[in-house]
Amino acid sequence: QVQLVESGGGLVQAGGSLSLSCAASGRTFRTMGWFRQAPGKEREFVGTISGSADSLYYADSVKGRFTISRNNAKNTIYLQMNSLKFEDTAGYYCVADEATTFGSRRPQTYDYWGRGTQVTVSS
């Protein structure tokens, strides 16, 4: 059974940092990444990483502040979030797909989703 389990969410002040993890079980994936969703808004692409970690894609809104990394031995990806802003407040969802998605920003592209972890940035 495939599972994606996120951890590491919480409350942080604006300007602070937070790190999320997503552990996959059941299989390995060529593409893994993150989406987020704020209340009343649609799910938004954050970024993805390829299986070999040589291809990274980020949303413009997080570029330069967020970094995705991957540990294939642990079948886990990470999202390091720095210089957090109030508008980064959202539920953060881990995604995965067996295919190379080339940074697709469409939620429908990704076959597997975690349950999400909440990140709240206080202003």
Q: What does the pLDDT read at residue 100?
A: 87
In this prediction, residue 53 has a pLDDT band, given cuts at 50, 70 and 90, of: confident
Residues 92-112: tens digit of each pLDDT: 999 999 988 889 999 999 999
Is the model's pLDDT at 86 over the cut of 90? yes
100 touches 30 (CB < 8 A):
yes
E strand or H helix at 65: none
Distances (CA, A) of 17 to 2, 20, 81, 108: 30, 10, 5, 29
Residue 92 burial (C-beta neighbours within 10 Å; 0-12, 13-18, 19+)? buried
Residue 72 has what pLDDT? Answer: 94
Q: Is the pLDDT of residue 123 over 90?
A: no
Which residue type, as a one-letter code, is found at position 73?
A
